Structure 1
Amino acid sequence: MSPAMIFNIHLALGYVPWLLCFVAYIWPRLRSMEPIEAQRAIATLHSFRFFGLVFLIPGVVGPDLAPDFASFAAYGDFATGLLAKLALVAVARPAIFWPLVVAFNLAGVVDLVGDYYLGTVLDLPGHAGQLGATYAIPILYVPLLMITHVAAFYLLARSRRHQIAAT
């Protein structure tokens, strides 16, 4: 089996355990929380996305990792993480908190979809070895990030529907 095929299998299968864990343990808890607390929990997870800057460190990634992919992934994660941190700091001010929740989730989804797109265009699977120590990020971490973005948007929509129904 080629390294590219193994990488693609890893990408696809990375979602399976996270979805199983999410459905069994995380989702029931998030749904039972007050909307602001559920979004705080998701923002806390995403506040660690400063770690994506590791894609820019020579020696951690291989010298032939596509610079366009590395830069987009690194700075997209960094921006998302900063927005998530700002949301956490602003939690006591809902008028600031909620727009920041929307912003970090939009930035995060654009980042991850852009990473998948660039990874495909730049043949990241064919050069997966260039990910070096960061190989685990798209395989183990990204699936949870994408799942929680989807959950955050669902919770935002559900919360909005309840607000409209209450008026």
Structure 2
Amino acid sequence: MSPEILFPMQLVLGYVVCLLCFCAYVLPRLRSMDRFEAHRAIATLHSFRFFGLVFILPGVVGPSLPAGFATFAAYGDFAAGVLAILALLTARIRPLFWTFVVAFNFVGATDILVDYYHAIQAGLPAVAGQLGAAYVIPVIYVPFLMITHVVALYWLVRPRPGAAQALTGDVAAA
């Protein structure tokens, strides 16, 4: 099978397996936590995004890895990881924590989407072997990151249960 078929197939299968695993094991646990703790757990996962810098580390990736993909992917991951770390460091200052949670989820999700665009534009599937040891990042780690971004962003915009009752003063009736 050609790399142009193998890489996208593995990427899609990575999403399928990660979504199955996430729904079966991670999501029930996150739902059992309060909103703050769930977002803190997601931030912890994303705090490891600093290792996306391997996309620009000679010897880990091949010399023919498209620079248009590698540079943006490396620094986008790094930015999202630093924002996630800042969220964790500011957990005791809730307004700052929530600001960094929104920031790392927005920056991180945008980074992944733009990385997919750059990968397609640069013809990455044809030279996916140039990812070297970093091949596992887009195939296994990125699907978990994107799934958690979608869940986190959804939880950030949806109203919390009971929030409407608290605003109308019907808390005692609840």
Residue 163 of structure 1 aligns with which residue?
Answer: 163
Misfit runs of 4+, over 4 Å: 159-162
User: Percent identical across equivalent pairs?
Assistant: 60
Number of equivalences: 167
1:43 corresponding residue in structure 2 = 43
> Letter of the aligned partner of 1:155 in structure 2?
W
Matched residues in 2 for 1:161 and 1:122: separation? 45
Cα RMSD of the aligned pairs, angstroms, is 1.2
Letter in 2 for 1:43: A
More helix by share: 1
Residues in 2 aligned to 1:44 and 1:55: alpha-carbon distance in whole angstroms? 21
The CA deviation string for residues 36-83 of structure 1, in whole angstroms up to 9 with x for no partner, is 000000000000000000111111111111111111000000000000
With structure 2 as the length reference, what TM-score do the two structures score?
Answer: 0.92
Q: In structure 1, what is the equivalent of residue 20 of structure 2? A: 20
Going from structure 1 to structure 2, the CA distance change for 1:79 and 1:164 (only over 3 Å counts) comes to: farther
In 2, are the aligned partners of 1:49 and 1:81 still within 8 Å (CA)? yes
Give ranges in structure 1 of 5+ residues lacking alignment: none
Residue 117 (str. 1) matches residue 123 (str. 2) = no
Q: Distance in 1 between matches of 2:19 and 2:77?
A: 21
2:53 aligns with 53
Q: Which runs of 5+ in 2 are unaligned?
A: 168-174
Which AA in structure 1 matches 2:157? Answer: A
Q: Is the 8 A contact 1:35 1:159 kept in 2?
A: no
* CA deviations over 1:6-28 (Å, ceiling 9, x no partner): 11100110011111111111111
Hey, what does 1:150 align to over in structure 2?
150
1:17–1:102 Cα change, 3 Å: same
Rounded to whole Å, the distance in 1 between the matches of 2:19 and 2:128 is 24
CA contact (8 A) 1:80 1:104 kept: yes
TM-score normalized with structure 1 length:
0.96
Q: Report SS of the residue matched to 1:61.
A: coil
**1:16 & 1:154 partners in 2: Cα distance?**
20
Counterpart of 2:172?
none
Q: Structure 2: how far apart are the matches of 1:163 and 1:93?
A: 21
Q: Which residue of 1 aligns with 2:132?
A: 132
Mark the structure with the bigger radius of gyration. Answer: 2
**Take 2:159 and 2:47, find their aligned partners in 1: how far apart are those partners?**
22
